[in-house]
Amino acid sequence: MNKDKTKHYASLFEPDGNPGLKKALPMALQHVLAMIVGCVTPAIIIAGVGGLDAGDKVILVQAALFIAAVSTLIQLFPIGKHIGSGLPMILGVGFAYLPTIQAIADSYDIATILGSQLIAGVCAVIVGLFIKKLRIFFPPMITGIVIFTIGLSLYPTAINYMAGGVASKTYGSWQNWLVALITLSVVIFCNHYAKGTLKIASILAGIIVGYIISLFFGMVNFDAVGSASALQLPKPMYFGMKFEPSAIISLSVLFVINSIQAVGDFTATTVGGMDREPSDRELQGGIVAYGLSNILGSFVGGLPTATYSQNVGIVSITKVVNRMVFALAAIIILIGGFVPKFSALLTTIPQCVLGGATISVFATIAMTGLKLIFKAPMNFRNTSVVGLSVAIGMGITQASASLAQFPQWVTVIFGKSPVVLATISAILLNHILPDPDRNKK
């Protein structure tokens, strides 16, 4: 009897078994706090770019929470041998996709994002099946260039949001900048001076403080909360689905890259929390599940998901790897996805608050890319690969009018988001330019 009881109440530091609600709930809430803002913010931004009304914005945020929960559960509890890693991971809508899906929403609409996501999800499944052979094309330096470019390209989004949002009548007002800078200051303070949960939830802390201050400036409108229902299932195919070749290519390239990047998060989880490398089956199952969950997301209106590095960091710090903790976190997120009033409340966060909170996230993305880049020796050859790739990707995007004489699909793929062009340039240059270190070997 004692043996069964010991088995039932497992340790937080072992993958399987039930540690009990009293132990699991605080750890689960910590993971929810770390991911919730990052999950809904891209949906709010895309809703703004796509010109959605308040009701549709709520539905898009609701779908983001729903697909984050489902994606996490599929990873935690594998289906058969090839779907799901079985590792303690949290997934949610990824900032890495934001430059590309912003460009698609700006040129087309939400339906085109979801149609492209369907095809891109299939590409991710294929990458998962052949992950061992494809990793050779994405050494740390190439992945770093991509991530660094993503971070750089998101800075204008954050600055425009800090100013109040380009479409806002109060864009650039001192009130918007004051609230944004206070929000950013709280995030910085919590990141560098706080400890424990407050440090981990620094983005959330900044948003709460910024939100309270914005109330005094009359920046918050609760009309959407009042009109939202208390309980509602996600609406499959609500936004529809359209297929535009240029948008599909753009997002598919990004999905392939993110599939390779996910290997880093899987590895960081097992090394940091379990003192081992992930198995080939775990990597393959994890990436296949990532692709399939994004295919599912395209039908329910959930924007592209990715593994969350901030939650990987919590695993490395706490060593808590019990899957029931992460399942409980997913259930909490899922409940939020079924409550439109909760989703509506999240959409009332002023854009200046979101900008002040997320600029530090975008900076972290860029610096993560730099860290990966500098894993390679910065000789003349490698600096050429990095410099030229970033210059071509960022340069053409910032001067997209230079492609005015080309067909529209060229502008959509190469002129709207720097990620695709930087990635292609980096891969080609890395294989074309002679490597003196490789020759020595």
pLDDT digits (tens, 9 = 90+) for 370-400: 888 888 888 899 999 999 999 998 888 888 7
Look at 75 and 421; give whichever has higher pLDDT.
Answer: 75
Binning pLDDT at 50, 70 and 90, where does residue 181 land? very high
Tell me, what's the pLDDT at 317? 66
pTM score of the predicted model: 0.75
The Cα 340–Cα 345 span in angstroms is 8
Using DSSP's 3-state secondary structure scheme, residue 165 falls into: coil
Rounded CA gap, 232 and 341, in Å? 10
Q: What is the DSSP string of 185-241?
A: HHHHHHHHH--HHHHHTHHHHHHHHHHHHHHHTT----HHHHHS-S-----TTSS--
For residue 116, give both structure tokens: 């492209």
Average pLDDT, the chain: 84
- The pLDDT value recorded for residue 5 is 46
pLDDT score for 419:
77
Section 267-271 average pLDDT:
78
Distance CA 275, CA 403 (A): 50
Q: How many helices (H) does the chain have, and how many strands (E)? A: 21, 2
More confident residue, 65 or 372: 65
How big is the chain, counted in residues? 441
DSSP assignment string, 109-125? -HHHHHHHHHHHHHHHH
Q: Summarize pLDDT for 93-105 with one digit per residue, the tens.
A: 987 788 889 889 9
What does the pLDDT read at residue 122? 95
Can you give the pLDDT at residue 288?
95
Percent of the chain with pLDDT over 90: 28
What was the pLDDT predicted at 385? 93
pLDDT tens by residue, 344-360 = 887 788 889 888 887 88
pLDDT band at residue 17 using 50, 70 and 90 as cut-offs: confident
Separation between Cα atoms, residue 230 and residue 418, nearest integer Å? 41
pLDDT per position as a tens digit, 241-257: 999 998 998 899 889 88
pLDDT of residue 186: 93
3-state helix, strand, coil in the chain (%, to 5): 75, 0, 25
Give the DSSP per-residue string, 30-68: HHHHHHHHHHHHHHHHHHHHTT--HHHHHHHHHHHHHHH
Q: What gap in Å lies between CA 248 and CA 114, rounded to an integer? A: 10
User: In the chain, what are the domain boundaries?
Assistant: 9-431
The residues, ordered by sequence, that sit 6+ positions from 1 with a Cβ below 8 Å of its Cβ are none
The tokens for 351 are: 């854009």
Q: Give the residue, 88 or 268, on which the prediction is more confident.
A: 88
For residues 62 and 200, the model is more confident at 62
Q: How large is the average pLDDT for residues 140-166?
A: 83
User: pLDDT band at residue 1, thresholds of 50, 70 and 90?
Assistant: very low
Residue partners of 276: CB distance under 8 A and separation at least 6: 270
Q: Which of 6-15, 19-28, 407-416 has the highest mean pLDDT?
A: 19-28
Question: Would you state the pLDDT for residue 3?
Answer: 47
Residue 116 predicted with pLDDT over 80: yes
